[in-house]
A and B are shown apart, each in its own frame.
Chain A
Amino acid sequence: MAVVAPPSTDDRVTHRSVTATLLSRPEIGALLGVIIIAVIFLAAAPAFRSVDNIGTILYGSSTIGLMAVPVALLMIGGEFDLSAGVAVTTSGLAAALLSWNFGLNVWLGVFLALLISLAIGAFNGWLLHATGLPSFLVTLGTFFVLQGVNLAVTRLVTGGVSSNTISDMQGWNSAKAVFASSLKIGPVDLSITVLYWVLFTIVGGYLLLRTRAGNWIFAAGGDAAAARAVGVPVTRTKVLLFMGVGFGAWLTGMHMLFNYNNVQSGAGIGNEFIYIIAAVIGGCLLSGGYGSVVGASLGALIFGMTQLGISYAGWNPDWFKTFLGAMLLFACVANVYVKKKADQR
């Protein structure tokens, strides 16, 4: 057999068309969704057109987006976290109950809540590794455990179903400024959570597409055994992703606490699915290995727009969840369709 001549590996020659590249991005379905939903509500709901309401819509989106970003990263890394919704409540309760019960400076409670949230994430990741069970089961377990802990510990400490108000305690005002203030930009009242959300999206997107961690997340989520064989520390990557969700839960939990002055111990149940829906609308595959942080944030925006759009349009809000479910199915079908089209080019 003859020795091969050095082949031409100049990849400029056969670059795919710009449209094909654009259409093959995972977030394309979510972007179309945002445009369609915006057009629908701009037409149907006069209040949607008012500039003042932009702040409200973005606020609703941000409380989902803060969690959708780390949940999307986790899903790209191949895992689920069904405990993400109640973990937010756990974090808020931890800060409130610890501060109140031990008469701590509120900031100390906030810090302890951060440790607890990160520990819950690390525990989920470790349990996944130690048991070899799918994350669906492991986090279903922690979901129920935390749900019970939230109710039981709150009743033990306060005798009721919500945390005592700690707004008269040391550090409250400065903590409220950090976690639950709002800024006036022109006519728009912007909650600080919107800033955090944008920051999360930028950092998360950068992490995924430009850093070593991003490559490892894709590799671990796509084929864990293959990733391990080439030296990717799969377990560590996944544990850190769960801790990322813990961090998001902490920030969201702190906002809930300082915004509403107390935390309801039964809150947060069901939100884990909203986060997952946002991530899936944003192009994340349930099987892992594929997805987008920006897409997940667009998914959160769709959620925020729909939630408020329905009430601004004067439609019966009972239909909200139905609408959301239909959106999910539509977005998934659109994602698959667009992907197929892009691959054919």
Chain B
Amino acid sequence: MEQMNSQDASVTEPMLKVEGISKRFGGVQALQDVDLQVDTGEHVALVGDNGAGKSTLVKILTGAEHADDGSFWFAGEERHFRSPLEARRHGIETVYQTLALADHLDVVANLFLGRERYLLRLGPFSVLNRAAMKTEARALLERTGVQIPDLGAMIMGMSGGQRQGVAIARAAGWGSKMIVLDEPTAALGVQETAKVEEIIHTLKDQGVTVLMVSHNLRQVFDLVDTIWVLRHGRMVGARKAAEVRPQEIVSMITGADDASGLEFA
């Protein structure tokens, strides 16, 4: 998909537009007058040092926290999500660092948790259509490039990469408009990180909009179109990944005027 220029918002309606969001926790100004824009189909990274306010911003956008000030538009409508569930109903799926998976259910049940398919509808006694869910689950995992050998296996015994894969597949699966990932690979090893990056790559090919938080600049440059930088709760700016040198992003993160001498790790 061809990249939209984020300055050129009049051409296509952005998926997400954030204006002037502020949030205070007691004495800490976690966010101060923050703007952000994510275009349809775009992959965007939100970077910044520890405590810069990345998770807070993500939580506000996904209904887990509420802004003191400012507003945002999602898919063309102004929204004030009161809960993650409400955000989800409107098409924002979030994969948190602490993965929301049920350990003792199998992969299929986890993918369909909260939106089960039925053979027979009888309220809580509704009988599950396990065959249909399994077929759909297999297609979904294939589409997102998540490799799970045994769909009937419990989540319990799975590697961190596989779990993250299931969580992302679930988020990607249900016609959601945008997927939000907060540090999707922070707890993973090298190989598992590569797997999850492949999955995110596959989402790009399918035109799924992604907003991700990451501390890993190599990953950010590999995966996203636009990088937004937060520092001390303020949005410092946005750069096209293809047009910026990593050193410049580092100096935006740290606030150093002169990035010379800083090596890109």
Contacts and interface: CB of A to CB of B under 8 A. Distances in A.
Instruction: Sort chain A's interface into a size bin.
Output: 35 or more
B150 A219 contact: no
A4 B124 contact: no
Contacts of A186: none
Interface-central residue, A226, A240, A290, by most chain B CB under 10 Å:
A226
Contacts of A39: none
A189 interface: no
A3 B202 contact: yes
A227 interface: yes
Interface in A294-345: 343
Interface string A189-200: 000000000000
Interface string B125-158: 1111010000000100110011111111100010
Nearest to B137: A9
A232 B148 contact: no
A33 B259 CA distance: 70
Interface string B188-219: 00000000011101100100000000000000
Contacts of A14: 149-150
Nearest to A220: B102
B103 A222 contact: yes
A82 B150 CA distance: 39
B138 A9 contact: yes
Instruction: Sort chain B's interface into a size bin.
Output: 35 or more
Contact of B99 (A1, A6, A226): A226
10 A-B pairs closest in CB distance: A231-B114, A226-B100, A219-B102, A213-B124, A14-B149, A7-B147, A229-B100, A230-B114, A4-B145, A11-B151
A13 interface: yes
A6 B142 contact: yes
Contacts of B130: 210
A226 B101 contact: yes
A4 B150 CA distance: 20
Interface-central residue, A212, A223, A228, by most chain B CB under 10 Å:
A212
A207 interface: yes
Nearest to B153: A16
A345 to B, nearest CB: 11
B222 interface: yes
Contacts of A222: 102-105
A218 interface: yes
A211 interface: yes
Contacts of B145: 4, 6-7
Contact of A231 (B88, B118, B198): B88
Interface in A214-242: 215-216, 218-219, 222-223, 225-232, 240
22 contacts: A1-B222, A3-B201, A4-B145, A7-B142, A8-B147, A9-B142, A11-B149, A13-B149, A210-B130, A216-B124, A218-B102, A218-B104, A223-B102, A226-B100, A226-B101, A229-B96, A230-B100, A230-B113, A230-B114, A230-B170, A232-B113, A289-B104
Interface of B: 84-85, 88, 94, 96, 98-105, 109, 112-116, 118, 124-128, 130, 138, 141-142, 145-153, 157, 170, 197-199, 201-202, 205, 222
A13 B94 CA distance: 32
B128 to A, nearest CB: 6
Contacts of B222: 1
B126 to A, nearest CB: 5
A13 B147 CA distance: 13
Contacts of A223: 100-103
A219 B147 contact: no
B132 to A, nearest CB: 14
Contacts of B85: 228-229, 231
Nearest to B105: A218
B115 A3 contact: no
Contacts of A6: 142, 145
A226 B94 CA distance: 12
Contacts of B126: 211-213
B151 A231 contact: no
A184 interface: no
Contacts of A215: 102, 105, 109, 112-113, 116, 128
B151 A229 contact: no
B150 A212 contact: no
A289 B115 contact: no
A287 to B, nearest CB: 10
Contacts of A219: 102, 105, 113
Given A3-B202, A6-B142, A7-B145, A212 B116 contact: yes
Contacts of A212: 116, 118, 124, 126, 128
Given A4-B145, A219-B113, A11 B125 contact: no
Nearest to A207: B125
